[in-house]
Amino acid sequence: MSDRLKALSEAGVSIWLDDLSRERIETGNLAELVKNRSVVGVTTNPTIFAAALSEGERYSDQVAELAKSGASVDGATFALTTHDVREACDLLLDTWKQTDGVDGRVSIEVPPGLAADTDGTISAARKLWAAVDRPNLFIKIPATTEGAPAISSVLAEGISVNVTLIFGLDRYKAVMEAYAEGLERAQQAGIDLSTIHSVASFFVSRVDTEVDNRLDASGSAAAAELKGKAGIANARLAYRAYEEFMAGSRFQALVAAGARHQRPLWASTGVKNPEYPDTMYVTELVVPDTVNTMPEKTMDAFADHGELDGGDRVTTMYDDAQAVMDRLEEAGIHYDDVIATLEREGVEKFVKSWDELVATVRTSLEDASK
- Which residues are annotated as catalytic? 140
Query: Which residues pair with residue 138 across a beta bridge?
Result: 107
Cα(349)–Cα(341) distance, integer angstroms: 12
Helices 169-188, 335-369: crossing angle, 10 deg rounding: 70
Could you say which DSSP state residue 111 is in?
P
Phi, psi of 256 (to 5 degrees): -60, -25
Rg (CA), the chain: 20
Could you say which DSSP state residue 1 is in?
-
Query: Which residues pair with residue 139 across a beta bridge?
Result: 108, 161
| Interior/surface letters 234-261, b for 16+ CB within 10 angstroms, e for the rest | bbbbbbbbbbebbeeeebeebeeeebbb
CB-CB contact of 331 with 90 (8 Å): no
From residue 305, give the alpha-carbon distance in Å to each of 240, 275, 301: 28, 16, 6
